[in-house]
Structure 1
Amino acid sequence: MSAPRTATSGRRRHITRVVSTLARLGLAGIWLVAGGSKVSDLGASVRAVNAYELLPNGAAQIVGSALPFIEIMIGLLLLAGLFTRAAAIVSAGLFVMFIFGIASAWARGLQIDCGCFGGGGALAAGESPTYFWETLRDIGFLAAAGFLILRPRTWLSLDGVLLGGPSGPDTSKG
């Protein structure tokens, strides 16, 4: 009777690892594209942060200048599978802030491009913001980060190599 439970448990663990690995690599790609698209034009990144009208100009300059490098760093950590849970926690925190920023701009009637993947700032006349889709997208990214926080064990990760075994010690329940 215990054999089917073991087989089911093993299958569930395998599926969890597949999903965790896909979440880690997917988020890595998102962060690398987002940061990479902004790093060559930090002025545009600062304008995008300023457009939300949530931070004083000096703080918006710091955030807009630092954000692309933070995104690239998170992307590289996730790509390598190094400090996976910590990178997923930072990812989740950023996604919550992005969702809040977009919702705030939407509620206040601002007509801006989110600047999530470069560009950003005020929209040209006749352009409409896509706040609903941007929020929905970021909620999906937040869900992936949340899953990775709960299940950080993935294949092809440096965490696994450094912590022992192909995927590291089993500190999660699946």
Structure 2
Amino acid sequence: MVRVLLAAILGIAGYAKFSEASGLQKVAVSSYRILPQSMVGPVALGLPVLEMALAALILIGFATRTMAICVGVLFIVFIAGIISVWARGLTIDCGCFGGGGQVAKGQTHYLREIFRDTGFLVLAAWLMVFPRGKLALDRWLGL
């Protein structure tokens, strides 16, 4: 169940970003003001693909513990990014499920986003500790 939930979260987030125009993806990434401009495009295009690939691998249960660690690291990066933006006083939409970019003052939800991503991190941690499910490919392969 945790595997399916985590895969759904990643798949929805990845697809929401992936289905947006390239320019909007870049706006969402560049609004964090963390990466050099030369990295914005590759991250904006690669992040949704990474999220969807991790979702697929988690869902089928292949290398579940390793994928859960990767997902956990990804959520730590997301949380750190949100904290960084908040600490610097920037007003952006996180773009976690599409969208992103500048928003009006008072329209940010940083604490809620941090708690949400921390909850997702807990799911990834659970999967790190208990990676084998009844329908996981790992179990069928004897891994």
TM-score range, shorter chain: over 0.9
Deviating above 3 A after TM superposition, structure 1's stretches of 4 or more consecutive aligned residues are: none
The CA deviation at 1:100 is 0.2
| Secondary structure of the corresponding residue to residue 119 of structure 1 | coil
CA distance in 2, matches of 1:73, 1:54: 24
> Where in structure 2 are there 5+ consecutive unaligned residues?
none
Which TM-score applies when normalising by structure 1? 0.78
Q: What is aligned with 2:140?
A: 161
Percent of aligned pairs sharing the same letter: 44
Which TM-score applies when normalising by structure 2? 0.94
Indicate whether 1:115 and 2:115 are aligned. Answer: no
Report how many aligned residue pairs link the two structures. 142
CA distance in 1, matches of 2:23, 2:61: 31
Show the 5 A alignment for 1:13-28. Answer: 22-28=1-7
Q: What is aligned with 2:31?
A: 51
The CA deviation at 1:23 is 1.6
CA distance in 2, matches of 1:32, 1:44: 19
Show the 5 A alignment for 1:8-157. Answer: 22-41=1-20, 42-123=22-103, 125=104, 128-157=107-136
CA distance in 2, matches of 1:40, 1:153: 32
> Where in structure 1 are there 5+ consecutive unaligned residues?
1-21, 169-174
**Which structure's CA Rg is the greater one?**
1
Over aligned residues, Cα RMSD in angstroms? Answer: 1.2
CA distance in 2, matches of 1:162, 1:81: 10
Give the residue type in structure 1 aligned to 2:115: L
The CA deviation at 1:126 is 5.5
| Secondary structure of the corresponding residue to residue 76 of structure 2 | helix
